[in-house]
Each structure stands twice: as C-alpha cells, then as structure tokens.
Amino acid sequence: MHGDTNDSNPPRADEGTPAAAPDADAPAPAPASSRTDDPLAQAQAEAARHKDAWLRTAADFDNFRKRTRKELEDARRNGREDLLRAVLPVFDNLERAIQSSQRSTDVKAMADGLGMVQRQFTEALGREGIARVPTVGHPFDPNVHEAIQQVETSEHAPGTVLAEVQPGYTQGERLVRAAMVVVAKAKASDDGQGSNQQAS
C-alpha cells in the first residue's frame, strides 16, 4: 500500500552500533609507582636491616666480653684462695717454730723444725703445680736461670751452676720466676795453656 513504510532503512550515521562493554575480568592497570620497585627504598630497608643486625651483634659481643671478664676474675680469685688455703698451714707451722725458738736454746731442734716447715712449703707448692727450678750442679739454662756472677774454676765444667742466690719457680711449662745463680767459667790460665799447647 501507499501508506506502508519500509522498516529496513539503514540507521543514520549518528545512530551507529553501540560500543562493546568493557570486560569485567580484565585486570585494572597498575599505577606507575607500583609497577617498578624504588631502588632508594630498597637500599634504605637493607641498610636498616644491616644496622639492626650489627646492633644485635655488638650487644651480644659486649655481653660476652663482660661475662668472660667476670669468669676470669672469678678464676683468679678462686686460684688465689686455693693457693692461700694450701700455704696457710705452712705459715701456721712457721709461726709455731718462731715461738718455740724464742723459748728453746736447742739450735739443732730449731733447725730441724724450720727444715720441716720448708719441706711442707715445697710440698704445698707442688700440689699446686709449682716446682723449684733445679740449679746447683745443673748446666746453666737461660730459659730458667739468670746468671748474676761467673766464677773461674777448673773443678767444674764451664756453664755449670755453682751456687743459687735466689730460687726460681715454674708452674707447669710457665716460668714464674727465674733462679739467680752463679755460673762456672774456665780459668784464663787454662785457656792460655791450651793456646800454647796448640801453638807448639
């Protein structure tokens, strides 16, 4: 008919097809600041971790140093107390010997009493690992002897200890005090005779 209209006319340009809806499952773009790590922030965090570890280590070392110092002081104190307990009986007997000598005129008994005290003292030191340095009749040893005089003699080999001026002591392998000694040396006349015999 004349009044019929054709509904199949194409849409106008301004009535174009609608745009596709965005996909809801697609991830949203990340901010530029979170896409790349900040090197400065990383370095600061690493420095903070190192500083914390260093502070902890320093505190542990300080505690260790204090604990070690206390243990050494305790060990020294205990060592002194042990030695004191070992030698106190010696001083007790020495005091008794002195008191007895003031009342007695027997010189031999007094000498025997003092000798007993000396032996007790040596035994007490021996129990603590302290020994007297051998001297008279032994070869001079600069590790444990200190020569304060040399005496010319033909009766002893050169370098032999002739006399002890002050005793020396060792504790285990450690020298506590060197012994002061007199050492033999060859006579000058003997050297001269030897030289003349070699020359002839």
> HSE-up of 121 (CA within 13 Å, CB side)?
13
Do 121 and 49 share a structural domain?
yes
Contact yes or no for 189/154 (Cβ under 8 A): no
Pair 184, 150: CB distance under 8 Å: yes
Please, which pLDDT band fits residue 37 given cuts at 50, 70 and 90? confident
List the structure tokens of 95. 């005091």
List the CATH number of the domain containing 175: 2.30.22.10
Most confident by average pLDDT, 5-9, 30-34, 174-178: 174-178
Residue 195 — pLDDT band, cuts 50, 70, 90? very low
Which of 82, 113, 128 terminates a domain? The answer is 128
Q: How many domains does the chain have?
A: 2
Q: Specify if 61 maps to a domain.
A: yes
Greater model confidence, 30 or 52? 52
Judge if 156 and 122 occupy the same domain.
no
In a domain, 30, yes or no: no
pTM: 0.56
For residues 14 and 147, the model is more confident at 147
Is residue 103 over pLDDT 90?
no
The verdict on 134 and 122 lying in the same domain is no
Residue 10 has pLDDT above 70, yes or no: no
Residue 161: per-residue pLDDT? 97
Question: The domain that contains 60 carries what CATH number?
Answer: 3.90.20.20
Are residue 178 and residue 157 in the same domain, yes or no?
yes
Q: Kindly state whether residues 105 and 51 are assigned to the same domain.
A: yes
pLDDT at residue 65 is higher than 90: yes
Read off the pLDDT of each residue in 105-122 and give the average, rounded to a whole number. Answer: 89
Token pair, residue 75, equals: 């060990």
Asked if pLDDT for residue 167 goes beyond 60, the answer is: yes
Integer Cα distance of 9 and 18 in angstroms: 18
Residue 110 sits in the same domain as residue 65: yes
| Percent of the chain with pLDDT strictly greater than 70 | 76
Question: How high is the pLDDT of residue 153?
Answer: 93
**Do both 118 and 150 map to the same domain?**
no
Q: Rounded CA gap, 129 and 171, in Å?
A: 5
Domain residue limits at 137:
130-191
Report pLDDT for 11.
53
Q: pLDDT higher for 145 or 125? A: 145
Beta-bridged to residue 161, according to DSSP, are: 183
In a domain, 166, yes or no: yes
pLDDT at 190 over 70: no
Is 88 within the bounds of a domain? yes
What pLDDT does residue 199 have?
44
Q: Is the pLDDT of residue 2 over 70?
A: no
